[in-house]
Amino acid sequence: MRLLLDTHVFLWLQDEPERVSSTAREWCESGDSELFLSMGSIWEMQIKLGRGKLHLKMPLAQLIDEQCRENNLQILGVKLSHLWALGGLAFHHGDPFDRLLIAQALEEGLHLVSADRAFVDYPANILW
C-alpha cells in the first residue's frame, strides 16, 4: 500500500508509536508499504520548530535523512496538480497544510495515514 503520513503520524512513529493505531502502525511497518512524507509536512515542522512549538531529539534534516535511509521514506514534492486540486476541495478543514495533504493523497492515489477526524469529510482514502 502507498501511504502518505500526516505530520503528527510521522512524529508519533518516531517518539510515541503507541499513539498510532495498531492498524496504521502495522501498515507503516510493513515491508510491503511505500511511505511518503509531504514537503508540506516538512515545511510545517520547520515552522513549528522556529516558533518553539515543536521539539525534536535531533535536527529535522537529520531526522528526515535518517528516515529516508532506514525506512525507505520518500519525500513527496508539491506539484502544480496538487495546488490546482485544492480548488476543488470543500472547506471542511481550514489548516492549509492538512488541505495540501488531502489534495496530494487524492492526486497521487495514496492512502493518507492520519488521526484527524476532519479528513473523513473528504473523498480521500484515510487509514487509521
Q: What is the pLDDT of residues 28-69, one digit of tens each?
A: 998 899 999 999 999 999 999 999 999 999 999 999 999 999
Number of domain units in the chain: 1
Q: Determine the structural domain holding residue 44 and report its residue range.
A: 2-127
Using pLDDT thresholds of 50, 70 and 90, give the confidence band for residue 19: very high
Q: What share of the chain is helix, strand, coil (3-state, %, to 5)?
A: 55, 15, 30
pLDDT in the model for residue 93: 66
Partner residues linked to 75 by β-bridges: 37
pTM of the model: 0.92
At 6, which CATH number? 3.40.50.1010
